[in-house]
Structure 1
């Protein structure tokens, strides 16, 4: 059995790697030409900057291409073995499809785990870098995404205004804090270039600070400049999260805190919750295509490569469409967000298991 499995993996892995490279190139070309018009319309954008943006898309392309590449490699390898009567010999030797396919399913499972960690430690960072660099190069207006305005604490007597908030590093940039007295007059304003959350002391550390004091007529009475200061500002980090930050660019811990902050502040959060659960469910696509690929090829005795590939791709397309509409159902509130995020994965995982264990040997 060990020799058989080594032979299968020696045939499967090179096809998978080759197909992965081809798929990534195709995804890159689609992205390159999709944004090409924007690049050509902006004469100030340099070719090197545009190519760097395209290059930062590679990790996301790898994530998308991995399940499809595994599906193609699996169907191609097993179809060749059926066409060469190798599978007939294997089954004649008493090895069922289930016994033969277990190491391949193990490969799909470990690839799913690898995809999970790759998505949450590599893709999130590359996407944040790509979007930030893209918006810088093309000078897109990011007010809706980065502006943070929070008017809370002391019954509305303190107003926070920041240009941007990074939930990954819990850092505010260009923060202004406006304090009002009992009758609503502004008596102090604190401006800071940066504010970093100190988890141990549970307060914000302000850097490069200017403090302005105002009289009852609104005139500045005192202007202090402080290079670095710790202010008694302990407003929780969650208060600075807006309801339109891209959760795809956050780590799981930051995404979890961000989602909780939306719930606590009773802001729209269904789409964010669905995306959060989909980040756990999507990596299992590799395991699903392993089940489906093994089952589909074994059901066709003639033209196994063509029929197995078409059937597997057809089911994969249905899976992505099903996942899309289940996500819409969750964002519209028809089903709970956790069920919306996992529905497509659980359904097709069940379908794949039925096809696999019911496949003829």
Structure 2
């Protein structure tokens, strides 16, 4: 029996000039189902996550159709990003299944080409999709998702909510000298404790209002600051407080001094301002912004929030690499079976995606509870996917 291999698409060859004919041919087989999958999964995601909400807002709050279309367009990159790993999985599954059903996999292997070499185009495609997903997640999705949230909030509430926060609480932890322990070394004579507690009733983007600050940064001297409002002065790196009172509290709890003021300047850190200005959803932050928030959380001492931010930071690296794992698994599974219909491939793809996100939820729970380190919690499903793909490849290569 003679089995031929069709010539590669000229368009694929133009974009991959240094790649062999076989690789270009296989990648050409992956492109149509990949594009179909991106459209299908993106449409499904945006319909469930955005369209239903926008239709409800159009009916209940009388927002304009133009604004709804703007929010829809701004949300679309997020769902395209989510669809990329699923799409490369379905594309590899359908593409290699088509090659297997037409005995092209058998013909290539009879020519001495091993399965490891045959799945290399899928791995290459997975790496390309990984790079595209990472770029999309860092450059386009955060800004677009944030603008979509702000646009809808302005339409519904009349103002942006991220810079219109209420009930802001920011604790700051640090090391202070241990009282009465003269025999301990300077390093041992310091303990981790709450040194400052910052509370503001509201923040309108420029001014904090209704402030209460407990300052315990100096051993043996505590002060309580109450103020009507405060602004951060970026030129002098200092807080300007207005219409307030300062209570100096003695170690026995009595008030040693009371100072009333109309205007007072205090050299307190600007961390509370940074904290509220960086209070975005993690989807709306890229890696540098997530690192900034993580640094602020480490100052606050909120361990669970620190672990959560650390996991989200690692997921920004791990999630794009899911495309590599899915490309490998799809190629191996597709090469082992006869022609797979789109419906069957879609079902297998949904099952594998569900398993991946279930593992991601398990990793989240383990990481937030401190059982595993944040990097392992974030990378767990991707590493398991790569492990399963390599095991399937090794097993299929022996057949």
Contact 1:296 1:308 in 2 (8 A): no
Structure 2 CA distance for partners of 1:213 and 1:189, relative to 1, 3 Å: same
Tell me which of 231, 249, 253 is aligned to 2:288: 253
Structure 2 CA distance for partners of 1:214 and 1:26, relative to 1, 3 Å: closer
Structure 2 CA distance for partners of 1:81 and 1:211, relative to 1, 3 Å: same
Counterpart position of 1:23: 41
Tell me which structure has the larger Cα radius of gyration. Answer: 2
Structure 2 CA distance for partners of 1:299 and 1:339, relative to 1, 3 Å: same
> Does 2:207 align with 1:174?
yes
Deviations 1:294-342 (A, max 9, x none): 1111222x34447666445433321121112221222233333222111
Counterpart position of 2:134: 116
TM-score scaled by length of structure 1: 0.76
Counterpart position of 2:70: 52
What are the within-5 Å matches in structure 2 for residues 74-89 of structure 1?
A: 74-89=92-107
Alpha-carbon distance between aligned partners in 1 of 2:59 and 2:214, rounded to the nearest angstrom: 47
Segments of structure 1 that go 5 or more residues without pairing to the other structure are 166-171, 225-230
Counterpart position of 1:135: 153
Alpha-carbon distance between aligned partners in 1 of 2:30 and 2:345, rounded to the nearest angstrom: 16
Counterpart position of 2:298: 263
Structure 2 CA distance for partners of 1:238 and 1:14, relative to 1, 3 Å: farther
Alpha-carbon distance between aligned partners in 2 of 1:158 and 1:329, rounded to the nearest angstrom: 30
Helix, strand or coil at the partner of 1:138 = helix
242-251 or 120-129, larger mean C-alpha shift = 242-251
Structure 2 CA distance for partners of 1:186 and 1:278, relative to 1, 3 Å: closer
Instruction: Return the offset for 1:119.
Output: 0.6
Contact 1:241 1:261 in 2 (8 A): yes
Alpha-carbon distance between aligned partners in 1 of 2:360 and 2:296, rounded to the nearest angstrom: 26
Instruction: Return the offset for 1:6.
Output: 1.7
Alpha-carbon distance between aligned partners in 2 of 1:223 and 1:102, rounded to the nearest angstrom: 69
Alpha-carbon distance between aligned partners in 2 of 1:196 and 1:66, rounded to the nearest angstrom: 45
Contact 1:75 1:305 in 2 (8 A): no
Counterpart position of 1:278: 315
Deviations 1:124-179 (A, max 9, x none): 111211222222222299589834345879x99996748459xxxxxx52235789
> Does 2:271 align with 1:237?
yes
Counterpart position of 1:227: none
What are the within-5 Å matches in structure 2 for residues 1-361 of structure 1?
A: 2-36=20-54, 38-139=56-157, 142=161, 146-147=165-166, 148-150=168-170, 161=200, 163-164=202-203, 173-175=206-208, 191-192=230-231, 195=232, 203=237, 233=267, 235-237=269-271, 240-241=274-275, 245-267=280-302, 268-269=304-305, 270-300=307-337, 302-305=338-341, 310-360=347-397
Contact 2:27 2:121 in 1 (8 A): no
Aligned length: 337
Alpha-carbon distance between aligned partners in 1 of 2:134 and 2:295, rounded to the nearest angstrom: 22
Structure 2 CA distance for partners of 1:179 and 1:334, relative to 1, 3 Å: closer
TM-score scaled by length of structure 2: 0.70
133-142 or 264-273, larger mean C-alpha shift = 133-142
Alpha-carbon distance between aligned partners in 2 of 1:273 and 1:355, rounded to the nearest angstrom: 32
Larger RCO (CA within 8 A; separation ≥ 6): 2
Counterpart position of 2:187: none
Structure 2 CA distance for partners of 1:43 and 1:215, relative to 1, 3 Å: closer
Helix, strand or coil at the partner of 2:208 = strand
Alpha-carbon distance between aligned partners in 2 of 1:92 and 1:57, rounded to the nearest angstrom: 48
Instruction: Return the offset for 1:222.
Output: 6.4
Contact 1:327 1:340 in 2 (8 A): yes
Instruction: Return the offset for 1:94.
Output: 1.1
Contact 2:74 2:145 in 1 (8 A): yes
Deviations 1:221-278 (A, max 9, x none): 8689xxxxxx875614367426964222222122123123223322231333322222
